[in-house]
């Protein structure tokens, strides 16, 4: 170098000096700019978005470069680039044009991969600088700038400084994007938390309200049950003390019956409600006359209305079809409830029921029913609430008017099942108008004029006369069934075991077979299977209905019966109503004359006081129960007691013998027979004790049986004494 | 001949002797000054290069070669400057002229064609790895790769008898040439090459990777560049892409590998891209030497 220097001219040396000075200045400037990067970092951290970061970057670069214009292109998610900001703003258009030209000729893509400044001359006589803004992980954008002059170059040191600044810029952009994502996320999270908190708060309020309503409901219910219960217990107590005139007794009994009826109503309400809640409620689809249904329903409520001096008026619109298909029982239940409420809450005035046709589309008919009263009315805010379960308009209502608070909730659900809605319009002190709609199918046929409710009351049964085969080994059971059925004109053939039942069946045609399960020689199940087999062999088309009658009461027992080929199942002790209803179900033809039925059944005599103590224990002899079973004919009691005694003594002897032989199965069979007979004759204590012996024997446990047997014997003696005391002399044939 | 009879063999001594014979091309210093000058234009830079016709032709061919994969035809140095960049073009110019510097090396010591093939392959792979890592100024890695074994040439030129002895020993006992160098001389060809480049005032970003490509942990300023050349050299040795004095595969430095953060999977991709470029680049650079 030194040799070269000497040989060179002073001009050359002058040039060298100025070059070195200029370079030195340049380097100092670059170092100053880089040294001031803390200010730059501050600007970057204050920037909120890409534009802010670009402005900070441009500010830093302006200290070093003489760019005519600068711009920043943002990298979009779809891979394209968009000119985000230009400095000065007026240069935006020109920059856009230059960049687009570079995109077309491939320089832009080249610059994206170069990671360093690419300088290209432009058509407008300037030099365009392109440098990618990228972190190690991804491209964030493209920095563009213009330099004056067609072939302007930047010195290497400046280009390196530019790289440093843009690298910082890229990381700032990345941080902003990540921070933005984080912020969005946090905000979103906060919103969700708020929403959720709100939901939870709502849910908590609802749960509290529901819990409150449930507590109120339980309190009401307890009150509702206690009131009639008190009536039953108080009246019973009075009657047990005795010494009452027959008129008094009748009055008390009437009170007991009323209380029991209202208890029954409450229980039915609860059962209905839980059935609907459990989704186990299905509607019938039978033809009925809507006019008839409304009239019948109102006629039952008329008496209560008249007692309060209320008028009840009804009108069924002429457009309402004469016959509909649906569940008229449920329609009447809703109507009864609403009209019943109207009567309850109406001190005076009148109640009107209007039924109109809303629409008929194809086969579907929608009815609108409106029940208007002049009652106490309902506060506006309660109008929605009263249809909720367990709620009444206000808790004082309960104390004044009673009720479970389930009635309207049941109505709402029933109406819902009938695809309808229920609502109320009301003004306090003026009255209420309950509306509901319900959908039915259009019926073409004439509805059958059956009063379905009547089927529940045996004395009003319209029943065909049936030929019945009764198989039971115990004489008293046969006699009891005979006593129940013969007044209705049914013809009964008796069989003492399964074998003779089968023989009887093969020789004659029966409408129904009543089959005891446990019988000697051939039991009821075997007999049933044999009958079914016989039917198949003989090709008899219609299988005879076979009804089991047994003291076994479990569900599995029921299934065993059905599996054997039986059609239905009755538990002992037999209840006349149930038996008759069941037979009605299997009767080939409904409807006989009313006269025949009414004539056959005398009305029950006034019940008498039960003898013996009843201090918490069951009666030795429940005379009324037996009487009911005998269709209210006290004259039949002695005969049945005679039959019972005749049958039960050998059974008790057999029990003793079996016990001595430690034959658990024998003990069980005899105890079972005693249990059945005692139940039928209403010797309730014997029934209980025999059941205990049977149960223990079934479990092969005879340890207590000796003691129980002694008790049973005492109870038998007590029974005969009680019967004697009542003046029944056992008839022994 | 006893060892003590050889002339004194230290790095400084050899570099001192060699730099008078093998000097940096004249244009390099001027080019360097011009691109560092705040007032230079692209035209100023172009003018210096175009004074050397052979260099200009080689640079243009290089700029249009698959190694660059440039989008447009580069038909002038001006365009090459705008597209490739000033510093990058300077580095390429060095690569394009250095093959002409080392001449008259005895063929039986080093096959120069095979030697430059190895060097170019190393440069291309080092550059590809850098591109993959999105490094800036990747051309300096190409130059560093090309020059990484220049110490072997220097030793063969300055101390042919030592060079021969080392090569024969390597052939006889099958040990790494590198290890034999260190035992025999107390330094290796990497350090020797680095010292020459320093003497030539080549930037440390090129000189340091050359000096420490067999000892990457010793690099002080350009650890990443050193690690890239280190790895590229090992790949070329293992794949037998050309050959210098070394016959074996030098050990991989674990920290250097970790510094690069590469996966073996991506090595295959990079290698595949690089292989096609090696032959053509060699043809361009060696073809121009005789111009």
CATH of the domain at A585: 3.40.50.2300
Domain final residue, candidates A147, A181, A215: A181
Q: Range with the lowest mean pLDDT among A116-120, A278-282, A430-434?
A: A278-282
> Could you give the CA distance from residue A159 to residue A117 in angstroms, rounded to a whole number?
7
Work out the minimum CA distance from B225 to partner chain A, whole angstroms: 16
Helix H segments across A601-683? 623-629, 637-660, 664-681
Work out the minimum CA distance from A84 to partner chain B, whole angstroms: 24
Beta-carbon separation of A107 and B83 below 8 A? yes
Cβ-nearest to B85 among A116, A136, A157:
A116
Same domain, A432 and A461: no
Of the pLDDT bands very low, low, confident and very high (cuts 50, 70, 90), residue A514 is: very high
Beta-carbon separation of B36 and A23 below 8 A? yes
User: What's the pLDDT at B153?
Assistant: 92
User: What's the pLDDT at A158?
Assistant: 87
Q: Is A543 helix (H, G, I), strand (E, B) or coil?
A: coil
Does A157 reach chain B within 8 Å, measured CB to CB? yes
Does A1 reach chain B within 8 Å, measured CB to CB? no
Question: Given a cut of 80, is residue A567 above it in pLDDT?
Answer: yes
Does B261 reach chain A within 8 Å, measured CB to CB? no
Same domain, B114 and B204: yes
Beta-carbon separation of B43 and A151 below 8 A? yes
Same domain, B217 and B246: yes
Q: What is the mean pLDDT of chain B?
A: 86
* Close Cβ partners of A109 (under 8 Å, ≥ 6 residues apart): A103, B71
**Average pLDDT estimate for A599-628:** 54
Q: Are B71 and A106 in contact (CB under 8 A)?
A: yes
Same domain, B141 and B271: yes
Does B35 reach chain A within 8 Å, measured CB to CB? yes
Same domain, A44 and A167: yes
Question: Is B232 domain-assigned?
Answer: yes
Same domain, A529 and A430: no
Beta-carbon separation of B38 and A109 below 8 A? no
Find, in chain B, the residue whose alpha carbon is nearest to that of A112: B134
Beta-carbon separation of B42 and A152 below 8 A? yes
Same domain, B139 and B199: yes
Q: How far is CA A538 from the centre of its chain?
A: 48
Find, in chain A, the residue whose alpha carbon is nearest to that of B87: A156
Same domain, B56 and B107: no
Q: How far is CA A21 from the centre of its chain?
A: 94
Question: Is B13 domain-assigned?
Answer: no
Question: Between A64 and A597, whose confidence is greater?
Answer: A64
> What's the pLDDT tens digit per position in A651-667?
888 888 888 888 888 89
Question: Given a cut of 70, is residue A435 above it in pLDDT?
Answer: yes
Residue B227 is part of which domain span?
A: 101-287
Does B40 reach chain A within 8 Å, measured CB to CB? yes
Same domain, A381 and A497: no
Residue A63: CA count within 13 A, CB half-sphere:
21
Question: Is A608 domain-assigned?
Answer: no
* Close Cβ partners of A534 (under 8 Å, ≥ 6 residues apart): A502, A505, A506, A540
For CA atoms A484, A486, A492, A497, the dihedral sign is positive
Question: Given a cut of 70, is residue B164 above it in pLDDT?
Answer: yes
Which residues from A are below 8 Å from B82, CB to CB? 118-121, 127, 151
Residue B93: CA count within 13 A, CB half-sphere:
32
Which residues from A are below 8 Å from B29, CB to CB? none
Question: Given a cut of 60, is residue B242 above it in pLDDT?
Answer: yes
> Residue A366: in which H helix or E strand, if any?
strand A364-372
Does A12 reach chain B within 8 Å, measured CB to CB? no
> Could you give the CA distance from residue B73 to residue B90 in angstroms, rounded to a whole number?
19
Beta-carbon separation of A109 and B71 below 8 A? yes
In chain B, the N- to C-terminal Cα span, in Å, equals 41
Instruction: Label residue A361 exposed, middle or buried (CB < 10 Å: 0-12, 13-18, 19+).
Output: exposed
| Chain B interface test: which of A107, A153, A157, A161 (most B C-beta within 10 Å) | A153
> Could you give the CA distance from residue A558 to residue A497 in angstroms, rounded to a whole number?
20
Does B93 reach chain A within 8 Å, measured CB to CB? no
Domain final residue, candidates A151, A181, A211: A181
Domain final residue, candidates A127, A162, A181: A181
Which residues from A are below 8 Å from B38, CB to CB? 22-23, 25-26, 155, 158
Domain final residue, candidates B52, B76, B98: B98
Same domain, B157 and B187: yes
Q: Range with the lowest mean pLDDT among A168-177, A313-322, B17-26, B260-269?
A: B17-26
A671-to-A521, A640, A657, A676, A718 alpha-carbon distances in Å? 18, 20, 12, 9, 18
Does A118 reach chain B within 8 Å, measured CB to CB? yes
Same domain, A629 and A543: no
Question: Given a cut of 50, is residue A616 above it in pLDDT?
Answer: no
Peptide linkage before A650 cis (omega within 30 of 0): no
> Could you give the CA distance from residue A337 to residue A422 in angstroms, rounded to a whole number?
13
Does A309 reach chain B within 8 Å, measured CB to CB? no
**Average pLDDT estimate for A567-580:** 78
ipTM score for this prediction: 0.76
Beta-carbon separation of A153 and B86 below 8 A? yes
**Residue of A450, A449, A447, A461 whose CA lies nearest to A582:** A461
Q: What is the mean pLDDT of chain A?
A: 80
Helix count (H) and strand count (E) of chain A?
A: 23, 17
- Burial letters for B55-72: b for 16+ Cβ neighbours within 10 Å, e otherwise? bbebbbbbbbbebbebee
Ranked by mean pLDDT, the top range of A74-78, A396-400, A449-453 is A74-78
> Could you give the CA distance from residue A324 to residue A320 in angstroms, rounded to a whole number?
9
Question: Is A123 domain-assigned?
Answer: yes
Does B204 reach chain A within 8 Å, measured CB to CB? no
Beta-carbon separation of A23 and B44 below 8 A? no
Beta-carbon separation of B38 and A115 below 8 A? no
Which residues from A are below 8 Å from B45, CB to CB? 153
Same domain, B132 and B253: yes
Helix H segments across A453-575? 475-485, 498-507, 524-538, 555-564
CATH of the domain at A319: 3.30.565.10
User: What's the pLDDT at A47?
Assistant: 84
User: What's the pLDDT at A464?
Assistant: 67
Does B70 reach chain A within 8 Å, measured CB to CB? yes
Which residues from A are below 8 Å from B135, CB to CB? 115
Count of CB contacts below 8 A, A vs B?
79
Does B23 reach chain A within 8 Å, measured CB to CB? no
Beta-carbon separation of A157 and B36 below 8 A? yes
Residue A598: CA count within 13 A, CB half-sphere:
4
* Close Cβ partners of A696 (under 8 Å, ≥ 6 residues apart): A702, A703, A704, A705, A708
Question: Is B6 domain-assigned?
Answer: no
> Could you give the CA distance from residue A116 to residue B137 in angstroms, rounded to a whole number?
7
Does A115 reach chain B within 8 Å, measured CB to CB? yes
Same domain, A385 and A318: yes
Q: Are B62 and B84 in contact (CB under 8 A)?
A: no
* Close Cβ partners of A28 (under 8 Å, ≥ 6 residues apart): none
Same domain, A362 and A469: no
In chain A, the N- to C-terminal Cα span, in Å, equals 156
CATH of the domain at A630: 1.20.120.160
Same domain, B112 and B91: no
Beta-carbon separation of B44 and A121 below 8 A? no
Instruction: Label residue A402 exposed, middle or buried (CB < 10 Å: 0-12, 13-18, 19+).
Output: middle
Residue A653 is part of which domain span?
A: 623-725
Beta-carbon separation of B40 and A158 below 8 A? no
Question: Given a cut of 50, is residue B251 above it in pLDDT?
Answer: yes
Cβ-nearest to B83 among A26, A118, A134:
A118
> Could you give the CA distance from residue B207 to residue B197 in angstroms, rounded to a whole number?
6
> What's the pLDDT tens digit per position in A217-230?
777 677 777 777 87
Work out the minimum CA distance from A146 to partner chain B, whole angstroms: 14
Question: Is A277 domain-assigned?
Answer: no
User: What's the pLDDT at B224?
Assistant: 93
Q: Which residues 664-703 of chain A have a CB within 8 Å of chain B?
A: none
Question: Is B65 domain-assigned?
Answer: yes
**Average pLDDT estimate for A450-477:** 62
Question: Is B7 domain-assigned?
Answer: no
> Could you give the CA distance from residue A289 to residue A297 in angstroms, rounded to a whole number?
12
Beta-carbon separation of A163 and B136 below 8 A? yes
| Chain B interface test: which of A24, A152, A156, A174 (most B C-beta within 10 Å) | A156
Of the pLDDT bands very low, low, confident and very high (cuts 50, 70, 90), residue A399 is: very low
| Chain A interface test: which of B30, B34, B37 (most A C-beta within 10 Å) | B37
Percent of chain A with pLDDT over 90: 10
Helix H segments across chain B? 11-21, 26-36, 42-50, 53-63, 77-84, 86-98, 112-132, 139-147, 150-158, 160-173, 177-185, 189-199, 204-211, 223-239, 254-260, 264-287
Q: How far is CA B261 from the centre of its chain?
A: 23
Same domain, B81 and B195: no
Share in percent of chain A as helix, strand, coil (round to 5): 60, 15, 25
A467-471: strand order across its sheet:
A491-495, A467-471, A512-516, A546-550, A568-571
Cβ-nearest to B71 among A110, A121, A152:
A110
> Could you give the CA distance from residue A653 to residue A663 in angstroms, rounded to a whole number?
14
Same domain, A395 and A467: no
> What's the pLDDT tens digit per position in B101-151?
887 788 888 888 899 999 999 999 999 999 888 887 888 899 999 999 999
Question: Is B15 domain-assigned?
Answer: no
Q: Range with the lowest mean pLDDT among A25-29, A148-152, A285-289, A539-543?
A: A539-543
Same domain, A56 and A176: yes
Which residues from A are below 8 Å from B141, CB to CB? none
User: What's the pLDDT at B289?
Assistant: 46
Does B54 reach chain A within 8 Å, measured CB to CB? no
Does B273 reach chain A within 8 Å, measured CB to CB? no
Cβ-nearest to B71 among A106, A136, A159:
A106
> Could you give the CA distance from residue B233 to residue A348 in angstroms, rounded to a whole number?
112
Question: Given a cut of 50, is residue A205 above it in pLDDT?
Answer: yes
- Burial letters for A666-688: b for 16+ Cβ neighbours within 10 Å, e otherwise? bbbbbbbbbbbbbbbbbbbbbbb
Cβ-nearest to B85 among A118, A134, A157:
A118
Question: Is B282 domain-assigned?
Answer: yes
Question: Is B39 domain-assigned?
Answer: yes
Does A724 reach chain B within 8 Å, measured CB to CB? no
Same domain, B61 and B151: no
Which residues from B are below 8 Å from A153, CB to CB? 35, 40-42, 44-45, 81, 86
- Burial letters for A90-117: b for 16+ Cβ neighbours within 10 Å, e otherwise? ebeebbbebbebbeeeebbebbbebbbb
Tell me the sheet residues that pair with A369.
A355, A436
User: What's the pLDDT at A37?
Assistant: 80
Question: Is A486 domain-assigned?
Answer: yes
**Average pLDDT estimate for B62-74:** 79
Question: Is A7 domain-assigned?
Answer: no
Domain final residue, candidates B98, B123, B152: B98
Q: How far is CA A52 from the centre of its chain?
A: 60
Same domain, A381 and A464: no
> What's the pLDDT tens digit per position in A617-651?
677 788 878 887 777 777 788 888 888 888 888 88
How many domains does chain B contain in total? 2
Question: Is A12 domain-assigned?
Answer: no
Question: Given a cut of 50, is residue A181 above it in pLDDT?
Answer: yes
Which residues from A are below 8 Å from B88, CB to CB? 116
Q: Are A488 and A587 in contact (CB under 8 A)?
A: no
Does B82 reach chain A within 8 Å, measured CB to CB? yes
CATH of the domain at B145: 1.10.3210.10
Same domain, B201 and B243: yes
Same domain, A438 and A559: no
Instruction: Provide the Cα torsion B94, B96, B101, B107; round to 10°.
Output: 140
How many domains does chain A contain in total? 4
**Average pLDDT estimate for A558-570:** 83
User: What's the pLDDT at A353?
Assistant: 93
Same domain, B126 and B264: yes
Does A153 reach chain B within 8 Å, measured CB to CB? yes
Question: Is A219 domain-assigned?
Answer: no
Residue B23: CA count within 13 A, CB half-sphere:
7
Question: Is A432 domain-assigned?
Answer: yes
Q: Range with the lowest mean pLDDT among A297-311, A576-590, A628-642, A706-720?
A: A576-590
**Average pLDDT estimate for B79-99:** 85
């Amino acid at each position: 170098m030194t040799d070269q220097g000497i040989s060179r001219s002073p001009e050359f040396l002058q040039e060298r000096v100025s070059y070195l000075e200029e370079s030195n200045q340049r380097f100092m400037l670059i170092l100053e700019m880089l040294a001031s990067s803390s200010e730059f970092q501050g600007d970057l951290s204050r920037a909120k978005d890409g534009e802010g970061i670009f402005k900070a970057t441009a500010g830093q670069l302006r200290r070093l470069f003489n760019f005519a214009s600068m711009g920043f292109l943002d990298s979009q998610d779809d891979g394209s680039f968009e000119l985000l900001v230009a400095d000065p703003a007026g240069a935006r258009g020109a920059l856009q044009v230059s960049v687009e030209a570079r995109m077309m000729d491939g320089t832009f893509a080249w610059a994206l991969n170069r990671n360093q400044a690419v300088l290209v001359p432009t058509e407008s006589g300037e030099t365009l600088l392109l440098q990618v803004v990228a972190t190690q992980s991804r491209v964030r954008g493209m920095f563009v700038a213009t330099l004056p002059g067609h072939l302007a170059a930047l010195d290497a040191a400046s280009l390196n400084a530019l790289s440093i600044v843009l690298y910082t810029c890229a990381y700032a952009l990345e941080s902003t994007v990540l921070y933005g994502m984080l912020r969005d996320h946090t905000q979103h999270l906060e919103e969700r938390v708020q929403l959720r908190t709100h939901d939870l708060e709502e849910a908590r309020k609802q749960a509290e309200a529901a819990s409150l309503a449930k507590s109120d409901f339980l309190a009401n219910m307890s009150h509702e049950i206690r009131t009639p219960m008190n009536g039953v217990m108080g009246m019973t107590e009075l009657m047990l003390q005795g010494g009452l005139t027959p008129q008094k007794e009748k009055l008390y009994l009437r009170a007991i019956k009323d209380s029991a009826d209202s208890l029954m109503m409450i229980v039915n309400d609860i059962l209905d409600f839980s059935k609907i809640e459990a989704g186990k409620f299905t509607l019938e689809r039978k033809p009925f006359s809507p006019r008839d249904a409304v009239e019948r329903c109102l006629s039952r409520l008329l008496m209560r209305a008249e007692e309060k001096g209320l008028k009840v008026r009804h009108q069924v619109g002429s457009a309402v079809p004469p016959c509909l298909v649906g569940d008229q029982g449920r329609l009447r239940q809703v109507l009864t409830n609403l009209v019943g409420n109207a009567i309850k809450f109406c001190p005076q005035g009148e109640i009107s029921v209007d039924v109109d046709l809303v629409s008929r589309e194809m086969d579907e008919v929608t009815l609108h029913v409106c029940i208007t009263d002049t009652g106490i009315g309902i506060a506006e805010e309660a109008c929605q609430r009263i249809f909720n379960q367990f709620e009444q308009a206000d808790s004082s209502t309960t104390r004044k008017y009673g009720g479970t608070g389930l009635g309207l909730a049941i109505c709402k659900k029933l109406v819902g099942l009938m695809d309808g809605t229920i609502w109320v319009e009301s003004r306090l002190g003026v009255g209420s108008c309950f509306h509901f709609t319900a959908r039915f199918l259009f019926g073409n046929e004439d509805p059958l004029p059956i009063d379905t409710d009547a089927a529940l009351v045996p004395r009003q049964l319209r029943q065909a006369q049936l030929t019945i085969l009764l198989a039971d080994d115990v004489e008293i059971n046969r006699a009891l069934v005979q006593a129940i059925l013969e007044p209705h004109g049914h013809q009964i053939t008796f069989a003492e075991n399964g074998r003779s039942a089968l023989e009887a069946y093969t020789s004659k045609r029966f409408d129904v077979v009543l089959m005891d399960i446990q019988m000697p020689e051939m039991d009821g199940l075997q007999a049933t299977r044999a009958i079914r087999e016989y039917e198949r062999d003989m090709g008899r088309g219609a299988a005879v209905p076979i009804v089991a009658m047994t003291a076994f009461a479990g569900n599995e027992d029921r299934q065993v019966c059905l599996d054997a080929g039986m059609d239905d199942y009755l538990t002992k002790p037999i209840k006349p109503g149930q038996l008759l209803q069941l037979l009605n179900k299997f009767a080939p033809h409904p409807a006989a004359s009313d006269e025949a039925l009414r004539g056959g059944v005398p009305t029950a005599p006034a019940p008498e006081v039960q003898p013996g103590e009843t201090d918490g224990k069951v009666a030795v002899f429940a005379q009324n129960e037996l009487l009911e079973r005998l269709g209210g004919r006290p004259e039949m009691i002695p005969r049945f007691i005679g039959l019972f005694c005749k049958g039960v003594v050998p059974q008790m002897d057999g029990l003793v013998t079996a016990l001595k032989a430690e034959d658990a199965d024998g003990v069980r069979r005899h105890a079972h027979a005693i249990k059945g007979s005692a139940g039928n004759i209403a010797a309730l204590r014997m029934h209980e004790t025999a059941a205990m012996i049977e149960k223990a024997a079934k479990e092969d446990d005879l340890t207590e049986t000796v003691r129980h047997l002694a008790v049973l014997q005492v109870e038998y003696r007590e029974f005969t004494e009680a019967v004697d005391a009542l003046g029944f002399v056992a008839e022994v044939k | 001949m006893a060892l003590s009879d050889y002339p004194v063999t230290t790095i400084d001594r050899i570099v001192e002797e060699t730099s008078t014979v093998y000097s940096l091309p004249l244009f390099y210093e001027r080019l360097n000054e011009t691109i560092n000058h705040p007032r230079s234009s692209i035209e100023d830079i172009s003018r210096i290069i175009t004074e050397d016709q052979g260099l200009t032709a080689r640079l243009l061919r290089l700029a249009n070669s698959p190694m660059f994969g440039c989008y447009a035809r580069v038909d002038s140095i001006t365009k090459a400057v705008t597209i490739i960049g000033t510093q990058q073009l300077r580095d390429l110019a060095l690569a394009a002229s250095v093959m002409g510097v080392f001449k008259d090396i005895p063929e039986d010591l080093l096959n120069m064609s095979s030697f430059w093939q190895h060097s170019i392959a190393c440069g291309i792979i080092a550059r590809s790895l850098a591109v993959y890592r999105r490094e800036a100024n990747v051309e300096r890695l190409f130059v560093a790769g090309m020059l990484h074994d220049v110490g072997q040439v220097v030793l063969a030129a300055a101390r042919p008898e030592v060079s021969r002895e080392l090569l024969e020993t390597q052939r006889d006992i099958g040990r790494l040439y590198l290890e034999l160098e260190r035992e025999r001389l107390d330094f290796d060809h990497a350090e020797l090459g680095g010292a020459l480049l320093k003497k030539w005032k080549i930037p440390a970003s090129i000189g340091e990777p050359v000096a420490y490509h067999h000892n990457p942990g010793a690099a002080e300023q350009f650890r990443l560049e050193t690690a890239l050349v280190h790895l590229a050299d090992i790949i070329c040795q293992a794949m037998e892409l050309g050959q210098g004095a070394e016959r074996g595969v030098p050990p991989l430095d674990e920290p250097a590998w970790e510094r690069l953060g590469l996966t073996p999977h991506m090595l295959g991709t990079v290698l595949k891209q690089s292989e096609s470029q090696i032959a053509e680049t060699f043809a361009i650079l060696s073809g121009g030497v005789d111009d």
